[in-house]
Structure 1
Amino acid sequence: MTSEIVTEGGRQDRRLRFRILGPLTMAHGADSVVLPPSKPTILLAALLLNANKVVTVEALWQAIWNDERPAAARAALQTCVLRLRQLFTKYGISNSAIETVPGGYRMVADARTLDLVHFRELVRHAAEAHEPAARLDLLDEALALWHDAPLANVPSDVLRTGVLPGLVEERLRTIERATDIRLACGQVGAALPGLWRVSREHPGHEGISKRLAESLYRTGRQADALAEIRRIRSYLRTELGVDPGTAVEQLEIAILRGEGPGQPPAGPRTPVRADSRYGVEPFPTTSRFTGRADVSAAILAALDPDRGPGTAIVVTGPPGIGKTAVAVHVARLAQRRGAGTPSLLRATDPDGLPRAAGQIAADLHARRARVPTGGPQRAVIVLDDVREIQQIPADLLCCVPDRSVIVTSRMSLAGLVVRSGAQVHRLDVLDQEESVALLGSLLGADRADAEPAALRALATACGHFPLALRIAGARLLTRPKMQVSDVVAWLAPDRIDRLALPDDPQMSVVQRFRGWLDRLDPALVDAFVRLGSAAPPVFTAADGAAALRTTAADAEPLLDQLVDANLLEEGSGHYTMHELLRVFARGCARPVS
């Protein structure tokens, strides 16, 4: 099922890929096409759903024609096979893509060519993984392969009623496993949005509703948890005439008594760390990652071990722009390409104070002592939230073969380019399509497609900041009866303060921005507020000096420091400030006189 395209650098293998965990889609290189509803599409779906197995002629007849097969059914089936083979040939794929075998046909596929095989392979690897974080990340990657309306363009009642329910159940079991890991690790808040969505997509699924109720209870929302239990009980009695199982009943009793379902119902727990103070944390997982394809690919390419010894990469940008998410995402991608288990080292304590290079070096040595022998040795280390170059241990950046380092920072850290030849990736806000895609991945296609204009308006209101988009999406998920347009209208009078979640202080745009300003020199903060309040959206150095009420010579170092702190963006002869940062600056209590 492969074809090869000769490039200047040699022969590059390009495979025909299929997606069936959504509308049946065929992709070849950069080309992708959703197949039209047709009998050849049904044939292809039947073969892919049974990849690497012989599908009998009888089963294919039934899938395509049900009980209304034509008189010359064998010839009609052969015509469908011929049309598929002609389509494959159009993309340079040989006729052997569909194998004719005694009694029927077979299509060979692997994780690189079919998302269903990839999904099941990831679920299997998750079951074999030893670390909860690794299991959860693999399950999340598997679930990300699913899209809305599987088989929507496959007009076969046999496949939709006989095969699709089993596929959906596979997905729901995987969601349950991922949720159980999140609850066990104390990531209750992270479990809620997805559970809300899936419980409404499958209102009669008792296991999902039970986990949603437990998550609500653990976040202190006892009334909402009991309401969810009442909802599932009413649904099961009305639709199926049965009561919930004992697990739901026991959870309800525990909630009414104020007991913990397996553990106290306090808020999310702090993960256990290797070091008693801070140390090397269990490597985090990311929720469904959206966007940043270009920068992720560039960083992943730089991590390629064929490029030589260890690599240093800086991911920089303002608070809430998604630096850590990108670093974690790429580190996990590198692991799935054969690298060792990645590690996360924090460069800042929970109280906001920077950690010394010696402390970070001790964490690094602790991490290396735990690397098992015999496995992949080269791994990615994410050093998160660095404030200054002096925090980075010298041996962390040495060109050694067993590691590459991704440093995230709100500062530009341009000195690392000179000292270590580091690559620098400065993150900007998402573009319109990425923002809408992120909101859509959070809300689900049905809800997103119902209000496309409002979704774009919400992306704009969030300034295309990933943090703001996720906050808005979480608000909608926890208020399933609210429309997207309602949130847009609600944000309009005071979006900078309202982009926050009441149960998580870290999920607040204002708090993230204010926390960053608290780390900076007061003179720099004053300059930021003055520029945000008085300078135009796009301004020159002379405009900046006027807003700062100083000379051009005195304004230049302030502007340069603000750029370095990711509070300004410098272009060719001009400066800009991200929209949300400008709104925040105007609303700061610090007076501008």
Structure 2
Amino acid sequence: MRFQLLGPLSLADGTETVVLAPSRPTNLLAALLLHANGVVSADYLQQAIWGEEQPATAKAALQTCVMRLRRLFVKHGVTETPIEAVPGGYRIGAGPRTLDLIAFRDQVARASTEHEPEAELHLLKDALSLWQGATLANVRSDVLHRDVVPRLVEERLRAVERVCDLHLALDRCGDALVDLWDVTRAHPGYERFHEQLIEALYRTGRQAEALAEYRRIKEYLLDELGVDPSPALRRLELAILRGDDLGPARSGQGAPGRLALPAPPPAAVEPRSPLVAPVPVVPSFTGRAAEVAAMTARLTEPRDEAVTVLLSGAPGIGKSALAAHVAHLVRDAFPGGRLLVRMTDPHGAPRAPGEVAAEIAAALRDRRAEDRALLVLDDVTDAEQVRPLLPVGPGGAAVVTSRMGLAGLIATHGGWVHRLSVFAPQESHQLLHTVLGPERAGAEPDAVRRLAELCGHFPLALRIAAARLLTRPELRLADGADWLAGDPVARLALPDSPDMSVDRVLAGALGRLDPRLAEVFGRLGALPPEFRAEDCGGIEGIEGADEAEETLERLADSGLLEAGPPGPYRMHGLLRRYARRSAERSVERTAERTAERSVERNADRTRPTEKV
């Protein structure tokens, strides 16, 4: 029996295929399969099944859904992939033989290792043949279609892009056109496909059609997005107007008689695990000059022993961006490679050290022993998670990012600590000027200052605000600031990138805490920006001075408060807004639960009793 996700969710057995009817168990199965072989939390599964508006009985109803799904498995003879109840949630195991998504990814990974273009093309076509229509068309889960399906579509588009690259390199422009007509119309904003289509048309003698296609995509980009075509598209138009030869490069650049193929897309050359990848370049990085200088000096100084640098601070404060930026600056000092290692899964759950260590070893297996490597261990949840991964080898280095203080790690393994706070005002202004452009930002300096204040000088919030404004080039910055001021926490989000949301990031941070701590954090939003433990006497959930200090210390260690004894604690402006919003939601949920219980009690009183 085989599960199929790359199309309507279905069960296939030989030539027979059963498409599952839309239902809550179908939503549940999709959520489990999309994260096969990993633990999927009960909270996430409840969101996948019911969305944001979950019933009061969601926890019990989830167990009922699991029972119904197991009965469905029995009905269809599914015996090799049981649903396991594990601490924190559920898990389903699968492999390339039982799940088409895993088979697709395995085929793409195998293709990336092929040196012969024909063999690579064959593997990629086999992989793409597994897609059987609109992904999860029969799954009625807004959460999955919002958070997961776009990533799957992106994986498919990268494979299609590579297939078309190979067709063009093999001088099979006609074969490339078959795919390109469809994907350019289905995904008009994917410029690389238009570039390939224009090249294929021109190389098959259809110069007028190629130039017409260029004008069409140029008009689309200007009208719909307010941007010009990419430099690659503009260079292609110029080459066509000049009548340049765009035929494939032949022997002389590689082995005799072999084609010089374009490099595979980035996803094809990354390690097999999407959670261990080459460190990316951070676009338009600004600020943190002191930290950049100190980290660069410490990572590049001659030494034999390994070095550890810890970046801690609040969620959204820019730890990951700083780590990646510095890793790029010191690349020449680490010929063994620089890896970004995500220490949490896509749901925010901590990953097991053994699993991470195995993936790191696989990614660095071709490294020479004498070549130093740099690991960016991103979003570490506690000291125990990272201790087994340190030290990283003679002369190597690790940059650890964490919302937690991880003082215990530094006590046992040493290293340097940089606790990041919000940007200074001039750093915020510099970021907005860099991203928005000096002309637009310079024309409205007061609006730039107001935007920075509304964002609380948080790097994540600033980048979200700048990205929204970039996609609206005709909007005055002052008008954008007025709109943002209405509800900064909710409006600092990008609709097409769920992870780029202040509300979502902070909710995820609170979700890792003890629920009592999260409740207290919300109530602290009612206090002034600076306060001491003795000011918390009236806060529900805190009893006595000792408990107040312990609670505030734990919140400070989690990056949600700053400073502390002997001075006052501080809560940054954006976090205070979120804390008040969180407290309001808690009150609303309590009122709803009280109302539901009242309705249930009234129903019990009015229900007729049976006569014995």
- Bin for the TM-score computed over the shorter chain: 0.5 to 0.7
Deviation at 1:353, TM superposition (A): 1.5
Deviation at 1:279, TM superposition (A): 4.9
Letter in 2 for 1:516: A
DSSP-derived class of the 1:348 partner: coil
Q: 2 CA distance for matches of 1:468 and 1:391?
A: 28
What does 1:74-153 correspond to in 2, within 5 Å?
none
Q: Residues 205-230 of structure 1, C-alpha deviation per residue, up to 9 Å, x if partnerless?
A: xxxxxxx9744899xxxx99753367
1:528 to 502, 513, 521: 521
2:461 is the alignment partner of 1:465? no
What does 1:193-208 correspond to in 2, within 5 Å?
none
Query: 2:379 maps to what in 1?
Result: 385
2:289 is the alignment partner of 1:293? yes
1:579 to 556, 573, 582: 573
Cα 1:452–1:279 change in 2 (3 A) is closer
CA contact (8 A) 1:273 1:282 kept: no
Q: Residues 37-62 of structure 1, C-alpha deviation per residue, up to 9 Å, x if partnerless?
A: xxxxxxxxxxxxxxxxxxxxxxxxxx
Q: 2 CA distance for matches of 1:487 and 1:230?
A: 20
2:310 to 299, 311, 314: 314
DSSP-derived class of the 1:505 partner: strand
DSSP-derived class of the 1:315 partner: strand
Q: 2 CA distance for matches of 1:341 and 1:186?
A: 29
Deviation at 1:332, TM superposition (A): 1.1
Cα 1:232–1:495 change in 2 (3 A) is closer
Q: 1 CA distance for matches of 2:160 and 2:474?
A: 27
Query: 2:364 maps to what in 1?
Result: 368
2:541 is the alignment partner of 1:545? no
Cα 1:591–1:231 change in 2 (3 A) is closer
Query: 1:282 maps to what in 2?
Result: 278
Q: 2 CA distance for matches of 1:499 and 1:275?
A: 33
2:328 is the alignment partner of 1:332? yes
Q: 1 CA distance for matches of 2:318 and 2:288?
A: 10
2:481 is the alignment partner of 1:488? yes
Q: 2 CA distance for matches of 1:185 and 1:436?
A: 40
Cα 1:229–1:245 change in 2 (3 A) is farther
Letter in 1 for 2:290: D
Deviation at 1:184, TM superposition (A): 6.5
Deviation at 1:558, TM superposition (A): 0.7
Letter in 2 for 1:535: L
What does 1:138-217 correspond to in 2, within 5 Å?
214-215=189-190
Deviation at 1:422, TM superposition (A): 2.1
Cα 1:408–1:544 change in 2 (3 A) is same
Letter in 1 for 2:347: D
2:469 is the alignment partner of 1:476? yes
Cα 1:507–1:368 change in 2 (3 A) is same
CA contact (8 A) 1:569 1:575 kept: yes
Q: 2 CA distance for matches of 1:186 and 1:586?
A: 47
Deviation at 1:271, TM superposition (A): 3.7
Cα 1:244–1:326 change in 2 (3 A) is closer
Query: 1:38 maps to what in 2?
Result: none
User: Kindly, what percent of the aligned residue pairs are identical?
Assistant: 42
Query: 1:41 maps to what in 2?
Result: none
Query: 1:353 maps to what in 2?
Result: 349
Q: 1 CA distance for matches of 2:384 and 2:160?
A: 34
DSSP-derived class of the 1:400 partner: coil
Q: 1 CA distance for matches of 2:240 and 2:312?
A: 46
Query: 1:499 maps to what in 2?
Result: 492
Name which of structure 1's ranges 334-343 and 279-288 shifts more when overlaid on structure 2. 334-343
Query: 1:559 maps to what in 2?
Result: 552
Q: 2 CA distance for matches of 1:491 and 1:392?
A: 39
CA contact (8 A) 2:189 2:221 kept: no
Deviation at 1:308, TM superposition (A): 4.1
2:437 to 431, 438, 444: 444
Letter in 1 for 2:513: L
Deviation at 1:346, TM superposition (A): 1.3
Deviation at 1:550, TM superposition (A): 2.2
Letter in 2 for 1:301: A
Q: 2 CA distance for matches of 1:271 and 1:486?
A: 39
2:413 is the alignment partner of 1:417? no
Segments of structure 1 that go 5 or more residues without pairing to the other structure are 1-129, 132-182, 188-211, 237-242, 249-268
Q: 2 CA distance for matches of 1:508 and 1:330?
A: 25
What does 1:501-520 correspond to in 2, within 5 Å?
501-520=494-513
Query: 1:397 maps to what in 2?
Result: 390
Q: 2 CA distance for matches of 1:292 and 1:474?
A: 20
DSSP-derived class of the 2:344 partner: coil
Q: 2 CA distance for matches of 1:480 and 1:357?
A: 46
Letter in 2 for 1:411: M
Q: 2 CA distance for matches of 1:435 and 1:298?
A: 21
Cα 1:508–1:230 change in 2 (3 A) is closer
Q: 2 CA distance for matches of 1:228 and 1:487?
A: 22
Cα 1:437–1:247 change in 2 (3 A) is farther
Deviation at 1:463, TM superposition (A): 0.5
2:422 to 413, 424, 429: 429
Cα 1:306–1:528 change in 2 (3 A) is same
Q: 2 CA distance for matches of 1:501 and 1:225?
A: 24
DSSP-derived class of the 2:328 partner: helix
DSSP-derived class of the 1:407 partner: strand
Cα 1:271–1:557 change in 2 (3 A) is farther
CA contact (8 A) 2:311 2:402 kept: yes
CA contact (8 A) 2:308 2:414 kept: yes
Q: Residues 242-267 of structure 1, C-alpha deviation per residue, up to 9 Å, x if partnerless?
A: x977989xxxxxxxxxxxxxxxxxxx
Query: 1:176 maps to what in 2?
Result: none
Aligned residues: 355
Query: 2:67 maps to what in 1?
Result: none
Cα 1:460–1:587 change in 2 (3 A) is same
Segments of structure 2 that go 5 or more residues without pairing to the other structure are 1-111, 114-156, 162-186, 194-215, 230-235, 242-264, 591-612
Deviation at 1:427, TM superposition (A): 0.6
CA contact (8 A) 1:335 1:379 kept: no
Q: 2 CA distance for matches of 1:465 and 1:185?
A: 36
CA contact (8 A) 1:273 1:279 kept: no
Q: 2 CA distance for matches of 1:247 and 1:214?
A: 22
Cα 1:497–1:224 change in 2 (3 A) is farther
Q: 2 CA distance for matches of 1:473 and 1:411?
A: 28
DSSP-derived class of the 1:392 partner: helix
Q: Residues 142-180 of structure 1, C-alpha deviation per residue, up to 9 Å, x if partnerless?
A: xxxxxxxxxxxxxxxxxxxxxxxxxxxxxxxxxxxxxxx
Q: 2 CA distance for matches of 1:280 and 1:517?
A: 25
Query: 1:63 maps to what in 2?
Result: none
